[in-house]
């Protein structure tokens, strides 16, 4: 049980509200690639670009189940995240 608690504790969700936050349901999702448990960024999405000029939007960056599975398989050498911008 201790092993499960320590190995599965890295899941997180980060939410950032810009302006008044999302005013609709239109969303754009992109994946981010990191190496060595997030220390080296390979491909990181730009939330401002994903918003397409909107001034009010919500950004959610999280580890999905697939992201966590890929990190577990590679021993966190490859650690992806997923960013969703809702306008």
pLDDT for residue 8: 57
Average pLDDT of span 62-66:
88
Average pLDDT of span 48-76:
91
- Across the chain, mean pLDDT equals 87
pLDDT over threshold 70, residue 43: yes
Which of 64, 57, 65 has the alpha carbon at shortest distance from 85?
A: 57
pLDDT over threshold 90, residue 64: no
Provide the 3-class DSSP secondary structure of residue 68. helix
Could you give the strand order of the β-sheet that contains 81-86, starting from the edge strand earlier in sequence? 13-18, 57-62, 81-86, 27-35, 40-43
How far, in Å, CA of 70 to CA of 72, rounded?
5
Average pLDDT of span 79-87:
94
Mode of pairing for the β-strands spanning 13-18 and 57-62:
antiparallel
């Amino acid at each position: 049980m201790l092993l499960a608690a320590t190995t599965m504790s890295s899941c997180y969700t980060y939410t950032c509200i810009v302006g008044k936050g999302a005013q609709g349901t239109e969303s754009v999702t992109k994946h981010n690639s990191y190496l060595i448990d997030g220390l080296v960024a390979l491909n990181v999405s730009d939330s401002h670009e994903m918003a397409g000029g909107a001034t009010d939007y919500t950004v959610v960056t999280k580890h999905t189940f697939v992201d966590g599975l890929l990190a577990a398989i590679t021993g966190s050498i490859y650690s992806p995240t997923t960013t969703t911008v809702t306008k």
